[in-house]
Amino acid sequence: MLETSLYARDLEAAERFYGEVLGLERIAKVEGRHVFFRCGPAVLLIFNPEATSRVPTYVGGRLVPLHGAEGSGHAAFAVGADALDGWKRRLAERGVPVESEVDWPGGGRSLYLRDPAGNSIELATPAVWGLAR
């Protein structure tokens, strides 16, 4: 993946969650429209759907297609198996409940939580998909 998009109307809450709780580096922000984060070799884009589904954006004179989503989305972040307990502690310290913890039959583990917009966020070991790490 090069980039993944999630949607949140309260970008300030999203910025705090992804920056302070998950520790991602903010790389771009336009008030009321979006906040973007570096996520390893990829980028996580958080858009306000009220802005991106109604107001055209042009880059270099070319139209960027309108987009937006309603309801909760999902994104999974790869974490090392030895890091999951540390993530559980970090989330608890920041008052973020773990919604579910899954030990997958084929291997790997996942922690599920919600961001402030209600998106389902998964912290997963790559073995969930048969990948080594």
Segments forming the whole domain that contains residue 32: 3-56
Q: Is 39 within a domain?
A: yes
Contact 61, 29 (CB under 8 A): no
Q: Which of 81, 85, 82 is nearest to 108 (CA)?
A: 81
Residues 8 and 50 in one domain: yes
Pairwise CA distance, residues 48 & 50, whole Å:
5
Element holding 54 (H helix, E strand): none
Q: What is the pLDDT of residues 49-103, one digit of tens each?
A: 999 998 888 999 999 898 898 889 999 999 999 999 999 999 999 999 999 999 9
Q: What is the rounded CA–CA span in Å between residue 128 and residue 124? A: 7
Give the pLDDT mean for 116-132. 94
- What does the block give as tokens for 34? 């979006």
86 and 119 housed in the same domain: yes
pLDDT score for 133: 61
- In tens, the pLDDT along 9-62 reads 999 999 999 999 999 999 999 999 999 999 999 999 999 999 999 888 899 999
Which CATH number do you get for residue 94? Answer: 3.10.180.10
If asked whether residues 7 and 49 sit together in one domain, one would say yes
**What is the value of pTM for the model shown?**
0.92
SS3 call for 30 = strand
Q: Classify residue 123: in a domain, yes or no.
A: yes
